[in-house]
Structure 1
Amino acid sequence: MSAPQYRLAIASCRQFSSIHVDDIYLVAVLELLGIEPTVCVWNDPAVDWTTFDAVLIRTIWDYFEHYPAFLAWTHALDRLGVTVINDTHMLRWNSDKRYLLDLERQGVAIIPTEVAQGTALTETLQAMAGRDVVVKPTVSGGAWHTVRGKVGTASFEQALAKLPQQLDYLVQPFVPDIASHGEWSLMYFGGAYSHAVLKRPIAGDYRVQEQHGGSVAQATPDEAIVQAGSSILAALAALGHQLPLYARVDGVVAGGRFLTMELEVIEPSLFLAERPDAAERLARLLLERLQNLPRETRRLG
């Protein structure tokens, strides 16, 4: 086998310090395309990021627990002149869920959202007495420090009391359609729709993440849902962002409308394990991106 043309760092976390199962086929295709992929833990001080042609952000699934260090790392990559996919400006913006309000200002339909400091949560929730709401940190993942309940009930107040007050939170009404019909995840590569899955919570729960008992199934959304996701990516340009090489749009259909829950352009699961065709599309886009790097920035060749 000929020597690789490019070296690609796949940024991960200590929990996933080798190839994640979802990326196994992606990595195999990258190698066939002449790209040498190496999994690197994002906050490992021993990693020399300048030895790679680019850094692909993948399973950095603990960044929100080390948020100041994460932001510092992205700025360090900028100073080193390292190419990052997706780019660091977008990573920093997307890492704080306040971005939902930016999207809303661009006409994107989102679940109604308020932002409250941890010390002001009780005051914010006073106007929502009796409503079923979800409270989550603005910087979080995997339902970390997330609670759901009816405002004013003892159980909900007890759950709120356990939340760290130093964090900021999103406050949103619970959308029952998530439990009854599921949550869509739409994958886009290079701005083009690729594939989708439908995630459902376990009976009696509201969290769709697999670690909380949720299920994931390949599914085909109708054209209106796909177009809704595409319009969200279009809003990125209006906000001054580059087109992401990969993106995942999470949302729920409620009242006949697709409501955006998340736009993931930082470290989303892309559900590639059962879609080798999608993994190949992403790999070829990565090769194209590496081929278009300025010659002076290439590490191999």
Structure 2
Amino acid sequence: MMEIQKRAELCFPQLLNSSCRKPTLQWSKAVLLNIVLFFISLITAALNLLVIISVSHFRQLHTPSNILLLSLAVSDFLVGLLVMPLEIIRNTACWFLGNLMCSVYVYLTGNITCALIGNIVLISADRYVAICDPLHYPTRITVGRVKISVCLCWFYSTVYSSLYMKDILIEPGRYNSCYGECVFVINDIAGIVELVLTFIVPVSVIIVLYMRVFVVAVSQARAMRSHVTAVTLQRSLNQTNRSELKAARTLGVLVVVFLASYCPYYCYSLDNENVANDPSASFVVMIFYFNSCLNPLIYSLFYPWFRNAVKLIITLQIFKYDISEANIL
């Protein structure tokens, strides 16, 4: 009887001592949790797909800032379509997809996360130039240069993830202690490099750039409200128009939400070496991934063009002739 019960607790009963134990979460709770998380994953992919279609289809939206939002939406879309479902499987059930898919999952997670962070850095740099050096913005930040920057961001993410995870790519499942789990372990040196390149440097750059943007935006807003001299007001209006300030505030909300979800995740991983098998870590990880669902909601709240584009997409008007030239701003 004890032998039968022990086998029932294993992911692969036929493997006996080589198999991992099943997660201890009750069946009813596991089903409910999976339904909720998969629904969030589906919503994340759908909302970001709307952003991708909107910016790609309508020519009026082909601006440097929107190209960066498009790249961010692609990374968020991949999080909802691939990373979140695999993370749900890994944390709420036995890993039954094999060692090769485990390596693919780990690589995708690292690659997409790195690209997502890079996109946030590029967005911060774009707003910094737009607010702090508005006269040179049209010449310095062009659509062509932004596209090159986005390509370099994804190329860097791919190369960095390949080097960082070469061990598990060469030998899938090398860190798994039993069949039914998917684990990735890093050594101390690699952990320090990751800490610097994926947390300290990008977060510091984002904070410094947006602190500068915030200071300049506040000074511009005060100048606009000031009635000391007409010259000061006119100069202020010429330097930074209200649309740029509004875009800076909107993207500032996006950056703050990103930092609020990313910092707890990374701080938790620093204090816990075995995050992959820690049940309490799954909540922090899913909060970080949930940020990908919040970004399109931020666009819908602050960007009228996104709401207008979604209406045209949902009503299938995008299939009309020359609709890509429509004025949706």
TM-score for the superposition, normalised by structure 1: 0.27
Counting strand residues as a fraction of each chain, which structure ranks higher? Answer: 1
Higher helix share: 2
Provide TM-score, normalisation by structure 2.
0.26
